[in-house]
């Protein structure tokens, strides 16, 4: 899991077509990048060149990026690993250990504590799985030897150089995912610099080992992407058989476009337990495959789409919401079923 990398971009790396993979200490395109990054960050060119000279090309990362696209999983295939009793129990432990910090973040940013906990749980199992690649290697490989997404990763490499300079970190010491996401919340370097905060006031930002900074930074990310305080994420919905085919035509990969709630109602959608204070934002419809022959429908409110700013997958956003609900139930000492289709 990671903050979503944008779709493949056209364009290549100037000079890279004739350069062998790696060899970052000697390549003209890398030296040109170093000059550009120096102008953007204020870091001396020689320092950037020395850093990039220590980066190692990772063929395994290119192979992962080029892995053939498969059909996305169904909800009932995707969800169980995020909702199993062991992960829920670990989430309860993380919540209880950081309850005061979570309460402060919720009060300040309006993001429910359970959502914050669940994002960290889905991303890295609360720090157990944070990535084994050196971020420097991953970003250099993708910036200079993966032309299809080179513009994006060059930008992230510049952000990473600035980040490690500002935080006085050895660039080669930072580990993360194969795409360069790092820390407990798996922020890309650009997101780290824009949204990470020193939430415990110790004078530095640490998303690798500091739970307080992680909690505050996830809450800040969601708030900065327009999380609506007190508003729902998903609401149970249904539609009669006569209107189902028309609804299915609006579902692109299980998630519709956003429209006014009245428009959905006119098309036959019924929503149970509609809050009286529901914001007048456009809403969508989410379909979750509960089994081979069963699908649940949900009204996707603004906050659902905010979660998709963290990761664009509808399944990811649903898993975050379901895990948050499961952790909340477990904290109230209620036995919950370990199934993908549990109701919060």
- Tell me which residues are annotated as active site: 123
Cα–Cα distance, 75 to 335 (Å, whole number): 22
The owner of tokens 């003209």 is: 28
User: Which one, of 257, 308, 310, lies nearest residue 285 by Cα?
Assistant: 257
User: Which one, of 151, 189, 176, lies nearest residue 29 by Cα?
Assistant: 151
DSSP H helical ranges for the chain: 28-41, 45-53, 59-65, 75-78, 80-83, 85-97, 99-109, 113-124, 135-144, 150-166, 189-195, 211-224, 241-250, 261-266, 302-307, 314-331
Tokens at 60, concatenated: 């395994």
Contact 228/279 with Cβ under 8 angstroms? yes
Cα–Cα distance, 122 to 75 (Å, whole number): 15
DSSP string, 70-100: -PPPPHHHHSHHHHSHHHHHHHHHHHHHTHH
The residues, ordered by sequence, that sit 6+ positions from 252 with a Cβ below 8 Å of its Cβ are none
Report the 10 Å Cβ neighbour count for 132: 9
Across 228-252, b (16+ Cβ under 10 Å) vs e yields beebbbbbebebeeeeeeebeeebe
């Amino acid at each position: 899991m990671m903050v979503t990398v944008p779709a493949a971009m056209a364009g290549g790396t100037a000079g890279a077509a004739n350069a062998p993979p790696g060899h970052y200490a000697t390549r003209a395109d890398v030296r040109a990048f170093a000059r550009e990054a120096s102008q953007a960050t204020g870091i001396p060119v020689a320092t950037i060149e020395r850093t990039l000279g220590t980066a190692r090309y990772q063929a395994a990362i290119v192979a992962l990026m080029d892995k053939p696209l498969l059909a996305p999983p169904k909800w009932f295939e995707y969800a169980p690993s995020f909702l199993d009793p062991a992960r829920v129990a670990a989430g309860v432990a993380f919540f209880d250990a950081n309850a005061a910090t979570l309460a402060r973040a919720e009060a300040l940013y309006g993001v429910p504590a359970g959502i914050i906990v669940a994002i960290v749980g889905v991303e890295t199992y609360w720090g157990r799985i944070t990535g084994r690649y050196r971020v420097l290697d991953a970003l250099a490989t993708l910036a200079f030897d993966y032309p299809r997404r080179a513009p994006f990763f060059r930008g992230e490499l510049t952000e990473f150089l600035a980040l490690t300079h500002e935080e006085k970190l050895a660039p080669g010491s930072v580990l993360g995912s194969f795409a360069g996401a790092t820390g407990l919340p798996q922020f890309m370097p650009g997101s780290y610099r824009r949204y990470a905060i020193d939430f415990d006031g110790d004078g530095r930002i640490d998303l690798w080992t500091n739970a307080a900074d992680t909690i505050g930074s996830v809450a800040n990310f969601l708030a900065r992407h327009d999380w609506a305080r007190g508003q729902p994420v998903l609401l149970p919905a249904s539609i009669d058989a006569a209107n189902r085919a028309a609804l299915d035509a609006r579902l692109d990969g299980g998630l519709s476009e956003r429209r006014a709630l009245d428009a959905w109602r006119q098309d036959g959608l019924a929503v149970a337990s509609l809050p009286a204070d529901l914001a007048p934002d456009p809403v969508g419809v989410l379909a979750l495959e509960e089994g081979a022959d069963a699908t649940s429908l949900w009204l996707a409110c603004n906050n659902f789409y905010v979660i998709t700013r963290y990761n664009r997958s509808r399944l990811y956003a649903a898993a975050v919401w379901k895990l948050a609900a499961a952790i909340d139930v477990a904290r109230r000492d209620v036995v919950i079923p370990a199934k993908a289709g549990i109701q919060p």
